[in-house]
Structures are given as C-alpha cells and as structure tokens.
Structure 1
Amino acid sequence: MQNRPSMVNRRRFVAGTGAALVGGTAASSTTGATTGPHRTRSDEDNRASRTDRATVIAHRGYADTYPENTVAAFELATQGGTDDAANRRRADWIELDVLPTEDGELAVFHDTELSGLTDTTGVIYETPAETVFSAEVLESGQTVPTLSEALDAIPTETGVNIDIKEGSSDVQFGRVDDPAAEREQWEWLEKVVDVATDYENELLFTTFWEGALATVTEIAPEIPVGYLLSESIEKGLAVTDEYDTAAINPPMDMLYGTPFFDDDAYESIDLVAEAHDRDLPVNVWTVNTWYEADQLLEAGVDGLILDHAEILRWSALERY
C-alpha cells in the first residue's frame, strides 16, 4: 500500500483520543492548545488541522473547475499541494467514469448520451469509437479520452476510483434478483480490469449496478470494490455486506445527523457509525461548498468527493 490518503483504508484517528479528525481543527491534548478566540497552537497542531482531515477525491477531475473526465482535468487535478489550505489542493484520488463504445473500446465519460456535454450526439455504447473519441467536451478543445489515455495522465501516487456505468440498455440499475443473468452484458468489464491493473495506481471500482459489482468481484476478487448507495441505506448496507466491499460511498443527504439528511427519502440510520463498525471508510458525494465539507468532516466522514478543491481552504486556514 502506498503512503497516501486512501478511499479504502480505515479512517484516521487523532492519537490518544479515539476521535476522528473533524472540522477545521483536530481534537488535541497538546499542552497550550485552548478553545478560546485567542487560543495558541503549535506548528505541528496547525499542520494537523490543515492536512489529512479527509481523503480528497476529484470528482471527474474536479468537474466544476476543469472540463470533466478529460486528460487535461486529470493532469491539472493532480497538481498542487497536499495541505487543504494550499492555493491549489492536489487530489489524493481521481474519480472517473467508464463505459464501452459500440465496438468495445473503453470511454471515460459520465453520461450515456454524448449530447449536452459534447459537440456530438449518440448513445456511447451504440456509437463507434472513432466518433466517441473525436467528440469535444464542453468546447474546451479536449476530447473524450480512452481509459488508457486517462490513466496515463494520472500519477502513480494518485489513487483511481473507476466508476462503472452501464454498457447496455438491458441491465438493471441498483439491486437485481439474479446478477448472473446479466453477466454477458458486463463482459466488457474484463477489458476494464485488464487495462486498469496494468497501472500501479491504487484502485477502487464503484458502481450503482449490482450486476457490475458481481462481475468485477468474479473477474478480479482482489480489486477493492464499493457500492454507490442511492435508494435505501438498508439495501446499500446489505449489498456492502454481501460483496464484502472496501468502502461505503453515499450521497451526502443520506448522512443522518447532518443538516443535509433527507428524512423523507431515507431510514434514520447512522450510516457513518454503521460503516465504521464494519471498519470501512465513508466517501461522500458530491460536496460543493465549504459549509458542506465542514459539516461532513464533523460527522466523521473519511473522504470528500469534490467538484472543486478550493472549498476546503476556508476551514483549513487558521481563523483566530
């Protein structure tokens, strides 16, 4: 395991306290640290409050900062410092999306349909690779990359979260009664595994589709996987347990006890506690404001999936 914040390792604790690093500062027993407006802290304390608070995951390569899921986005998202207070915060991990073209090539793109984000139309898995990879993303001059081109742009010390999208209209979103019945529709994932494992980056494969999860664990049981929770906490935890996933990746409105929890949509279950009882990290998507980041850190989450990194600076800077 390389020395980097991980989406798949157990959450970090403050030494001697058993409390997770939260908010803009870390709980500390250091002599001289006080809680008043004129508190004093050692340089070591200050560094601890700014770094290693949570794994920083660039959603599609910081999708609100750079043209999403492009080579340029991945190159730029992996530049900068590891201190949350830095002018430019480098991603610890890159999250990217993958699905197949009509002729079986691997495209890094989020949507099923090319229109909207590119100057081209067509469902990706019904469109030839030549057309897909010549599509310009958001008038940026960047085109849709192959999975190999995307991974070539990401330094080996940066983890890669490969988010698997559907490669067919014949697969079912979420849980399915018989994942094995969809196996043929997910054959293209064998190529994803072959390409991704040629690189030295730490990997996590995630998906909303149980059929994809079942296929990856069959093809390569050694690759860490995660289920993207959506409709139900109980169902998400059931999938987590069944497939022995390496992480829990929920939307932030699923986090009970935070201002964002949607009690009309979800069960009143403390998902962070459930995850940590299973010795699993919680990586939350998609975080877009400093306030959201602060509240989620206070709730004990382990990873923040971000569209732009600058939102971390406010709580990381000393404000007293």
Structure 2
Amino acid sequence: MLNRRTFVAGAGAALGAAAVGTVSASADEDDLEVGGRPTLVAHRGFADIHPENTVSAFEFASEGSTDDAADRRRADWIELDVYPTCDGEIAVFHDEELGDLTDTEGVIYEEFADTVLSAEVLESGQTVPTLEESMAAIPAGIGVNVDVKAGSPDVEWGRVDDPEAERGEWDWLETVVDVATDHDNELLFSTFWEGALAAVRDIDPSIPAAYLLDESIEEGLAVTEEYDCEAINPPLDMIQGTPFFDDGYEDVDLVAEAHDLGVPVNVWTINTWYECERLLDAGVDGLITDYSELLRWGARN
C-alpha cells in the first residue's frame, strides 16, 4: 500500500508515475488517508540482518515482496553512505574511520582506493564496495537514498555561514552524481551537511534532496524550505505524538509542518515493530530501518 504522501512511486510502485517526494497527479484526498503503509527504507541494506553497506546486503535487501505481511519483505528504497577516497574513487561506507567495521585502519578519505576497497567488512567476506558496484546491485525498481558524508575535515557540520566558501571541498560529489544518475533508480540525496546540500543543488538541481536533522527541528525545517528539499529525514525522537519524542527539542509538530510544505517525513533509525506502528500513527511517510520485516505485525493485525 502507498503511504499517504508518496515518498516514491517509481518503476516498481503501484502508481508508477509520481516523482520522489510528491503526490501522484491522479491522487485525491481519498488517496491521502492517515494509516496508509509507509515506505520501507533499508538502512545500509538492513544493517542488523546483513553486513552493512556491502554488495551482498544490497542484493539481499532487494529480494522478496512489497507486501508488508510477506515472509520476506524487500526494501522499497535502500539507503547507502558515500565517501571519496584520496584518489577520487567513491566508496560506500558509513564511518569516517575504517577500523571499527573492517580489518583495515585509516580515515577513509585519506586512504587510496586500493586500500579502502580491499578492506573486509565485519568479517563477512565482503569488502567495501564502490558506488558503481552498489548501484549495479540494486534493481531499477528500488530507490536509492545516497547519504552524503564529509570528504574532508575542512567542512562544517550542519548549517554553514557561507556554503559557497567550502564548495571546493565538495567537488567529489560531481562524481557521485555522475555515477548515481547513470542508473535508472529513483534517487534521493540526503545529508547532515548544508554544504553538501548546497553542492548537490549546484551540480544538478533536479536531483531530489533531503536534509538530515540532528539538533534542531526548526533549523531542519528552515534548511528544507530554503533549499526546496523533496523530503526531510529526522530521528524518531523528533516526532511529536509518539512515546519517543524528546521534549528537549522545540515544541514543533515536525510532521504537520513538513506536510504543510508538501514534504514527506522519513524517520531514522527504526528497530522495533512498536516504533513502526507509533510512528505510522503519527503520520510519518518513510521508515529507515535495520530490519526488513518490522511492518509484518501491523500488516497481519
């Protein structure tokens, strides 16, 4: 079932023609009911089931049915993380340091591709893949959420006073855009770094983008509106009306505000069926999760 604000209705989805972050042109209010099922986004390829950010993880996350009640639920979208190596290859990996997740030490953007791409991930037999290898492993009917990490210590986290001043530090994103757009998957580029968001908009304004929220709901909404983002991706403790909301944040109903902007809300990182159901009740649109079958309980009950 499509969620009420369609995060994706691409090649494999029921409506077929809607773009990322929009509602189908044929949709009416009856199509936008609260209680529709959310888009299921495989966090690093369902990281608590498969060796994260590896080709095998992306292949396995792509197998199964789109029925929430199925014994094997495939991803609607797959989220992966990108860094540059020091010689310009684009590696898919989450951490800045290789050492915690692989058998190799070093800061990923300071190492050569040969070193990074030969690192074994979590003793799985799988090595760190390139973006090209990762995209090739994901069928065209599954969207790809490219999570952009920092490729330099000289970029500022979050909001930036002058994004243009650090634009050169994000030149490697031109390669990311070239590789990703060479495939037929729907795309969403997401990031915590405003400088990266500004660079993506500069490189190709047509690529759907999302701001990843961290410390402030109001800041996240402001950046989303300023850059005309197609989605917003907050942590689950920013969602009012759920048991998870942290009242240390501003008293802002993020879901309502985002929906007023026409922007879907994709929440991270979800690891229990209870979180899924409470977030769905609160009206979120996408669930970024480490497990593939968390929606089954609600779908069968």
Q: Name the TM-score, length of structure 1 as normaliser.
A: 0.87
State the distance in 1 between where 2:96 and 2:68 align: 34
State the distance in 1 between where 2:160 and 2:259 align: 26
Contact 1:58 1:307 in 2 (8 A): yes
CA shift for structure 1 position 310: 1.8
CA shift for structure 1 position 84: 0.6
1:289 lines up with 2:298 in the alignment: no
State the distance in 2 between where 1:269 and 1:164 align: 27
1:4 lines up with 2:13 in the alignment: yes
State the distance in 2 between where 1:101 and 1:226 align: 24
1:197 lines up with 2:181 in the alignment: yes
State the distance in 2 between where 1:275 and 1:59 align: 22
State the distance in 1 between where 2:157 and 2:227 align: 17
SS of equivalent residue, structure 1 residue 311: coil
Of 276-285 and 5-14, more deviation after overlay is shown by 5-14
CA shift for structure 1 position 8: 2.0
State the distance in 2 between where 1:18 and 1:4 align: 16
Aligned to 2:299: 316
Contact 1:249 1:282 in 2 (8 A): yes
Match of 1:259 among 235, 240, 243: 243
CA shift for structure 1 position 19: 3.0
Aligned to 2:261: 278
1:128 lines up with 2:133 in the alignment: no
Aligned to 1:307: 290
Contact 1:250 1:282 in 2 (8 A): yes
Contact 2:20 2:208 in 1 (8 A): no
State the distance in 1 between where 2:162 and 2:198 align: 10
Contact 1:10 1:281 in 2 (8 A): no
Match of 2:192 among 208, 226, 235: 208
Letter in 2 for 1:307: D
Match of 2:137 among 137, 140, 153: 153
Aligned to 1:167: 151
State the distance in 1 between where 2:269 and 2:27 align: 24
State the distance in 1 between where 2:32 and 2:109 align: 48
Contact 1:7 1:281 in 2 (8 A): no
State the distance in 1 between where 2:181 and 2:31 align: 38
CA shift for structure 1 position 17: 8.1
Letter in 2 for 1:19: E
Alpha-carbon distance change, 60 to 189 in structure 1, aligned in 2, over 3 angstroms: same
- Runs of 4 or more, structure 1, over 6 Å off, are 11-15
CA shift for structure 1 position 16: 3.6
SS of equivalent residue, structure 2 residue 293: helix
Aligned to 1:234: 218
State the distance in 2 between where 1:90 and 1:235 align: 33
Match of 2:35 among 21, 41, 54: 21
Aligned to 1:179: 163
CA shift for structure 1 position 316: 1.1
Q: Name the TM-score, length of structure 2 as normaliser.
A: 0.92
Alpha-carbon distance change, 15 to 218 in structure 1, aligned in 2, over 3 angstroms: closer
SS of equivalent residue, structure 1 residue 309: coil
Percentage of pairs with the same residue: 66
Contact 2:12 2:142 in 1 (8 A): no
SS of equivalent residue, structure 1 residue 75: helix
CA shift for structure 1 position 255: 0.5
Of 128-137 and 11-20, more deviation after overlay is shown by 11-20
**How many residues are matched?**
287
CA shift for structure 1 position 289: 0.1
State the distance in 2 between where 1:75 and 1:172 align: 34
CA shift for structure 1 position 3: 4.7
Letter in 2 for 1:223: I
Q: Where do 1:114-125 residues align within 5 Å?
A: 114-125=98-109
Alpha-carbon distance change, 13 to 143 in structure 1, aligned in 2, over 3 angstroms: same
Contact 1:284 1:301 in 2 (8 A): yes
SS of equivalent residue, structure 2 residue 268: strand
Alpha-carbon distance change, 299 to 105 in structure 1, aligned in 2, over 3 angstroms: same
Alpha-carbon distance change, 89 to 251 in structure 1, aligned in 2, over 3 angstroms: same
Contact 1:226 1:240 in 2 (8 A): yes
State the distance in 2 between where 1:196 and 1:185 align: 19
State the distance in 2 between where 1:238 and 1:15 align: 27
State the distance in 2 between where 1:16 and 1:108 align: 40
CA shift for structure 1 position 172: 0.5
State the distance in 1 between where 2:12 and 2:31 align: 23
Q: Where do 1:58-73 residues align within 5 Å?
A: 58-73=42-57
State the structure with more CA Rg.
1
State the distance in 2 between where 1:278 and 1:2 align: 25
